[in-house]
Chain A
Amino acid sequence: MTGETQRQLPDTDFAVVEAPTTLSVSVRINGKVVTRDVEARTLLVHFIREEAGLTGTHVGCDSSSCGVCTVLIDGDVPVKSCTMFAVMAHGRDVRTVESLAVGGKLHPIQQAFWDQHGLQCGYCTPGMMMTSLALLGRNPSPSEHEIREGLSGNLCRCTGYNNIVKAVQQAAEMMAPSAAPEVSHD
């Protein structure tokens, strides 16, 4: 991204293409600080995918509608990472879908999506899971209506919503403080 030389484009209205100014941006992604020189216009989703190499966060509609790029900022705030500049996340914590499984063991939300087949093609799944995580953090036992409301900014183009809702219900049960200690699947 750096080191572009100025080029002359003769005989056009656009006389000079200036080398873009870059900024040093540091974002703590899943606990690890990633520092890169990027243009201010770099969207957070591209920083995550291309600079940090974490491709679990998807690009779907590319127009701020579908929510597949949802990540959590500063712990529990879900944001569409295609609608935030990477510089806005400078010095902040970002959590992506890659943070869910620990030591090869699925997070209860992942396990519940698996058990309930809360995915069809799976493209929207990372965003669905990150939004679910934020939702359950705020409301540990949501009603079906609250789940549907909570996930309404995430589109599933397979329209597999029923199983997604079931998965979130199961995840809520699994994550409840009273839930039995998880049995190892090994």
Chain B
Amino acid sequence: MFPASFEYVRAHSSDEAFSLLQQHGDEGRVLAGGQSLIPAMRYRLARPGVLVDINPIKELDYLIEEGGFLRIGATTRDAALEFAPWIRERYSLITSVSGVVADPIVRHMGTVVGSVCHNDPAGDWTATALAARGVVVVRGRDGLREVPIDEFLVDSYTTAVKEGEMALELKIPIPDGRTQGSYQKIERKVGDYATCAAAVQLSLNPDGTIRQAGIAITAAGPIALRVVEAEAMLIGQLPTPALFQAAAAEAPKIATPNPDQRGSVAYKKDMARVLVGRGLKQALQRLEAGQGGGVSA
């Protein structure tokens, strides 16, 4: 199917993109990888008046560590994270996500920041950013502002980016030597949206107790959801199967999935529990294996 007609403008710098977005107001929409937006336009679920193509902006294509964060630029592709050896060695949560987002071809065009901005209820990167305590850098009328991911994800397909603004990058705290993560996803087939998925990241203190926990589920509500009660339950405790079981049992309490062809509400809620449990277990196994800041899935 063809999308509805739109006006197309190309931006070559973030200054230019920002000024184009300011100029076009609520008609303007950023086109990054387009792997969610273009299908939505083809189904006429989205009808933006003006697309501001940011793909020519080379300065936004980067993947660097700086100031304690992994910085992912607005035009950085999923494939860049998937294939960077240093990411595979040190970011276990990201590595376990980057190979299961959509399918391999889509990951060559799709962008991480675009996915977070799309804020699909079943997004993989939104749940990951929640578990990893990500921060989105947004360029607004008053300059740059940093928005913690919890505040960034407002509602389905809605973020804290306002009319005329744009997200420039996603920042993920660099995991230290005692931090590991895991992404657990069930899907009907490769490239499908998750039936349910869970992102988990655990950090241990030198005495073996849990210092920090990040747990989020996706395809389980209007947006990816942090399982705050489960996180709180883990802090300061020694990891045990019973503790993990209790933490995982918090996931179905906050999950509000829709019944669809992928499963019933009861099934999806139970999957949220199962996947959080598996994620905790795998993150701990990786910690016990002494796998530094992260090792590939």
Total interface residues in chain A, CB < 8 Å: 31
Within 8 Å of chain B (Cβ to Cβ): is A20?
yes
Asked if A88 contacts B5 (CB within 8 A), the reply is: no
Asked if B38 contacts A64 (CB within 8 A), the reply is: yes
**Nearest-CB distance from A23 to chain B (Å)?**
7
Given that A23-B8, A39-B5, A84-B34 are contacting pairs, would A153 and B109 also be in contact in the complex, using a CB cutoff of 8 Å? no
**Which size bracket describes the interface of B in this complex?**
20 to 34
Q: Which residue of B lies closest to A79 (CB)?
A: B109
Within 8 Å of chain B (Cβ to Cβ): is A35?
no
Asked if B191 contacts A79 (CB within 8 A), the reply is: no
Given that A65-B191, A85-B8, A153-B103 are contacting pairs, would A77 and B38 also be in contact in the complex, using a CB cutoff of 8 Å? no
Q: Which residue of B lies closest to A77 (CB)?
A: B108
A147-171 CB mask vs B (1 if < 8 Å, else 0) is 0011111100000000000000000
**Nearest-CB distance from B251 to chain A (Å)?**
28
Q: Which residue of B lies closest to A63 (CB)?
A: B39
Within 8 Å of chain A (Cβ to Cβ): is B289?
no
Asked if B106 contacts A80 (CB within 8 A), the reply is: yes
Asked if B104 contacts A153 (CB within 8 A), the reply is: yes
Given that A40-B7, A40-B8, A63-B42 are contacting pairs, would A83 and B35 also be in contact in the complex, using a CB cutoff of 8 Å? yes
Across-interface contacts of B83 in A (CB, < 8 A): 138
A14-29 CB mask vs B (1 if < 8 Å, else 0) is 0000101101000000
A50-73 CB mask vs B (1 if < 8 Å, else 0) is 000000000000111101001000
Asked if A67 contacts B34 (CB within 8 A), the reply is: no
Within 8 Å of chain B (Cβ to Cβ): is A131?
yes
Given that A41-B2, A88-B53 are contacting pairs, would A153 and B105 also be in contact in the complex, using a CB cutoff of 8 Å? yes
- With A and B bound together, what is the CA distance between A20 and B10 in angstroms? 18
Q: Which residue of A lies closest to B39 (CB)?
A: A64
- With A and B bound together, what is the CA distance between A41 and B42 in angstroms? 9
Across-interface contacts of A154 in B (CB, < 8 A): 105
Q: Which residue of B lies closest to A64 (CB)?
A: B39
Asked if A64 contacts B106 (CB within 8 A), the reply is: yes
Within 8 Å of chain B (Cβ to Cβ): is A78?
yes
Within 8 Å of chain A (Cβ to Cβ): is B242?
no
Within 8 Å of chain B (Cβ to Cβ): is A112?
no
- With A and B bound together, what is the CA distance between A87 and B34 in angstroms? 13
Asked if A152 contacts B103 (CB within 8 A), the reply is: yes
- With A and B bound together, what is the CA distance between A41 and B1 in angstroms? 10
Q: Which residue of B lies closest to A139 (CB)?
A: B83
Across-interface contacts of A67 in B (CB, < 8 A): 103, 105
Asked if A41 contacts B105 (CB within 8 A), the reply is: no
Given that A83-B34, A153-B103, A153-B191 are contacting pairs, would A41 and B5 also be in contact in the complex, using a CB cutoff of 8 Å? yes
**A43-B2, A65-B191, A152-B103 given; 5 more Cβ-contact pairs under 8 Å:** A40-B5, A63-B43, A67-B105, A79-B109, A83-B109
Can you name 28 A-B residue pairings with CB atoms under 8 Å?
A: A18-B5, A23-B8, A40-B7, A40-B51, A41-B3, A41-B4, A41-B6, A43-B2, A64-B35, A64-B38, A64-B42, A64-B106, A79-B105, A79-B109, A80-B106, A83-B106, A84-B38, A85-B38, A87-B8, A88-B53, A138-B83, A149-B99, A149-B104, A150-B104, A152-B103, A153-B102, A153-B104, A153-B191
